[in-house]
Amino acid sequence: MPGERPRKDVGDAFNSYVDRYDAWYESLKGKALLATEVAALRPLLARFPHPYLEVGTGTGRFAEALGI
């Protein structure tokens, strides 16, 4: 429509922060939070049959930690 601003792609927004995102998960706080989140998700995944499907965007950090 005339006068409408172009929508920025969500992938572009993620890509502009990917280095900071990964760096944060390498910090002490980030490593602790990742371990806590993976520990919370692992029992939930055990309820579902393999293969798992990752549908989120990201660097694959959680998928790797969860064996997806």
List pLDDT tens digits, range 57-66: 678 899 899 9
Phi/psi for 10 (5° steps) reads: -60, -40
**pTM for the full predicted model:** 0.69
pLDDT score of 24: 93
Confidence (pLDDT) at 16: 86
Extract the residue ranges of the chain whose pLDDT is less than 70: 1-8, 10-11, 57
Q: Which residue has the tokens 């990917």?
A: 18
